[in-house]
Amino acid sequence: MLLAGDIGGTNTRLALYEYKRPLKLIKEHRFLSSNFSSLLSAIKSFLKDEKDKLEAASFGVAGPVKNGRCQATNIPWLIDIHEIAKDLNISKAYLLNDLEANAYGIELLKENEIYTLNEGDKDAIGNACIVAAGTGLGEAGMYFDGKRLKPFACEGGHTDFAPQNDLEIDLLKFLQKKYGHVSYERIITGPGIYNLYEFLVENELEPRDESLENELKNLAEPQVIITQKGVNKDNKTCERVINWFISMYGAEAGNAALKFFALGGVYIGGGIAPRMIDKLKEGAFMKAFADKGRFSKLMMSMPVKVILNDRTALIGAYNFALINK
């Protein structure tokens, strides 16, 4: 058996697969990461009733992985794959960045698990990249070696936010007071959606709605309500937040596409995009994506696709283990 995991800032998903191809799931469980003090404690809970021998393990984690260790970015877990392998008594164990895992999962997706926002050139070939907003903002590259794409990790979501107009300059100043350094992760994430809402209301650019404020009060994730109301057009302020969010998401996806020279395609992953797919189709995302001056035509030549399967990082961790078997 192969134990695979997708470890995020909010949710962690663990699954057991047969340690061979084709992909065959044995069991799977999703839980709040905050319910456990460590990945190992979560694994032990997941495996407590298992009798079959575990042969290998592979995990994608939201954070920088170095020498098999990672301090997760948005949860207080220090993960050491060598300690986990020793505790589980297995010789093959892998730890990779969750966006790298996502990238490894793409080739296992079915056609109906991807939505194409931009067709691009029909014979597009070359490097690719993935940009994924969720609790954090993850990015990864895929280098084309002439035969296949080879994923690699990066931490591009933590690069400096680059405002494009006076409103975004004011947003930068607002977030600098709150955080100091302002990365794209402070904006193009679930918590970032709430930051946009807070900025607009506190600066009186949008009216304060007492009914909405009462609804958001004391919620651990107020962005969920803001997203729902914005996507459904139930509240003008929330709709403005989501439209703005989508535009900046497109701009940063375009930045990543240029840096990775992603002529082979740009994939939009994470948990947020599928929840607002109808809004993404409206065009603001692609308009911002392509708005790169002299390179706008090049940008439109790149296929842009939204990943609809939220288990892509999980099956990517599985795929990585099989490739390295």
Same domain, 155 and 246: yes
* Residues 289, 290, 293, 296, CA torsion sign: positive
Residues 150 and 269 in one domain: yes
Cα–Cα distance, 253 to 258 (Å, whole number):
9
**Domain shared by 92 and 156, yes or no:** no
Q: Quote the pLDDT of residue 211.
A: 94
Residue 138 pLDDT exceeds 90 = yes
Q: Are 268 and 306 in contact (CB under 8 A)?
A: yes
Whether 139 and 96 share a structural domain? no
The answer on 291 and 265 residing in a single domain is yes
CA distances from 194 to 95, 213, 216, 265 (A): 31, 12, 10, 30
Could you read off the pLDDT of 80-118 as tens digits, one per residue? 999 999 999 999 999 999 999 999 999 999 999 999 999
282 lies in the same domain as 316 = no
Do residues 300 and 319 share a domain? no
The string of pLDDT tens digits covering residues 273-304 is 999 999 999 999 999 999 999 999 999 999 99
pTM of the model as a whole:
0.96
177 and 190 together in one domain: yes
What are the helix (H) ranges across the chain? 39-47, 81-88, 98-105, 166-179, 190-202, 210-216, 222-231, 236-260, 277-280, 284-290, 296-300, 312-323
Q: Are 220 and 161 members of one domain? A: yes
32-77 pLDDT, tens digit per residue, is 999 999 999 999 999 998 989 999 999 999 999 999 999 998 899 9
pLDDT at 9 exceeding the cut of 90: no
| Alpha-carbon distances, residue 8 vs 55, 85, 96, 151, 215 (angstroms) | 24, 20, 12, 19, 26
Verify that 152 and 297 share a domain, yes or no: yes
For 297-319, how does the pLDDT look when each residue is reduced to its tens digit (9 = 90+)? 999 999 999 999 999 999 999 99
Q: Examine the domain organization and report whether 99 and 174 are in the same domain.
A: no
Whole-angstrom Cα distance, residue 292 to residue 284? 14
- Number of structural domains (the chain) is 2
- Rounded mean pLDDT of the chain? 96
What per-residue confidence (pLDDT) applies to 208? 92
Domain around 202: 111-308
Q: Residue 163 maps to which CATH number?
A: 3.40.367.20
Which pLDDT band holds residue 166 (cuts at 50, 70, 90)? very high
pLDDT for position 74: 86
pLDDT tens track for 233-269: 999 999 999 999 999 999 999 999 999 999 999 999 9
Tell whether 240 and 119 lie within a shared domain: yes
Which CATH number goes with the domain that contains 70? Answer: 3.30.420.40
